[in-house]
Amino acid sequence: MRWSINQAVVGSYEGSEVVRVLVGEEQREFTLHRKLLCDSCAFFQTHIDAIPSPSGSRDGNEDEDSVLWLPNEAPDMFESLVLWLYQRRSFSSFIEAATRRMSPDECRTLRTNLVHLHLFAAVIDLPALQDAAMDALQDTYLRLDWDMSPRFLAFLYGDCDPQHAVRLRRWAVAMLAWTLHGADDEATVMAGQIDRLFAAYPDLQADYNMHLRKTAQSRADVRIKNPQLRLPANKLRSGERMFGFRQCTFHSHRATVGEGMCPHALALGHSLVTVPVRRRDRKDEAESDGSEADRLIISPVGDLNETSYLDLS
């Protein structure tokens, strides 16, 4: 599926230079406004500035656009980045609307893209995008009532750079504790798999134990404190704290914002509100080891080195 681009946003860059970005080994092409891309972070500014200028606009012809190639990144992930660049205010709404009409396989592919987007944002030092991907991931898990899977944990602790995945790990560990302490048969079955993961990844067990200690110190109940639920504030009443997590708990600025307003919400002129949903029976679990999902096409602009990560589908 394809997203429609906000023409008002495109119009604000009318007449400005563009840069062609080739992504992945197949060199899927994206044509983006140069200023928008450069203004997003130093990574793109530096790499685009290093591109040799087109060979002198022969007879005023400037068809030879600047080209940036990211050979190790996933094109589907980059489509999500483009969506965020052009539709920053509506990014979460687009993701929500998409999950309501996607098939289960498409939802899993979208989830994979959001995880990769978060990791790539960490690589290029773009905290705002990193936090937007984290928010969308939490909201998607809440909306679809997904649990944390051993396969996802093995990916985060076995395949990812710890610095890039630190916030994903914190969230995944909270999800694991919430899942394992759930009163259902699946939690019991999963416990054996987690013991093997703890043996394989000592950092996972250490993070899990730390989470349990902190939860106990806060007098919260790990069985009902839902890591999917992102409450629309950082200054919470004691009752609210028992059921969900602060808006910025898994954001890049959590240590500095305290109980203040989320800087992203301030910048966008609103705060994101999530609504708790009742847990359903586990079926069609999102992290299954089934066949790979079909490619999900979400390019909002069409034709207008980082670290690469494996598929989670």
Domain-located, residue 293: no
Q: What is the per-residue pLDDT for 179? A: 87
Whether the per-residue pLDDT at 296 is higher than 50: the answer is no
Whether the per-residue pLDDT at 73 is higher than 60: the answer is yes
- The amino acid occupying position 172 is A
Whether the per-residue pLDDT at 305 is higher than 70: the answer is no
292 — pLDDT class (breaks 50, 70, 90): very low
Q: What is the per-residue pLDDT for 183? A: 60
Structure tokens given for 216: 């106990």
Number of domains in the chain: 1
pTM across the whole model: 0.80
CA–CA dist 19, 70 (Å, integer): 13
Most confident range, picked from 11-20, 92-101, 108-117, 179-188? 108-117
Asked if residues 250 and 134 have their Cβ atoms less than 8 Å apart, the reply is yes
- The amino acid occupying position 311 is D
Domain-located, residue 55: no
Q: What is the per-residue pLDDT for 270? A: 55
Sheet strands (E) in 24-157: 28-33, 66-70
Domain-located, residue 7: no
Q: What is the per-residue pLDDT for 66? A: 76
Whether the per-residue pLDDT at 250 is higher than 70: the answer is yes
Whether the per-residue pLDDT at 299 is higher than 70: the answer is no
Q: Which residues of 247-257 are buried (b: 16+ CB within 10 A; e: fewer)?
A: bbbbbbebeeb
- Residues with Cβ < 8 Å from 170, sequence gap 6 or more? 207, 211, 250
Q: What is the mean pLDDT of the chain?
A: 80
Domain-located, residue 131: yes
CA–CA dist 236, 125 (Å, integer): 29
Higher pLDDT, 135 or 3: 135
CATH number at residue 86: 3.30.710.10
Domain-located, residue 103: yes
Higher pLDDT, 223 or 118: 118
Domain-located, residue 21: yes
Whether the per-residue pLDDT at 6 is higher than 70: the answer is no
186 — pLDDT class (breaks 50, 70, 90): low
CA–CA dist 252, 264 (Å, integer): 11
Expressed as residue numbers, the domain containing 32 is 15-47+67-146+304-313
Q: What is the per-residue pLDDT for 82? A: 95
Domain-located, residue 20: yes
Most confident range, picked from 11-15, 28-32, 51-55, 167-171? 167-171
Domain-located, residue 37: yes
Whether the per-residue pLDDT at 297 is higher than 70: the answer is no
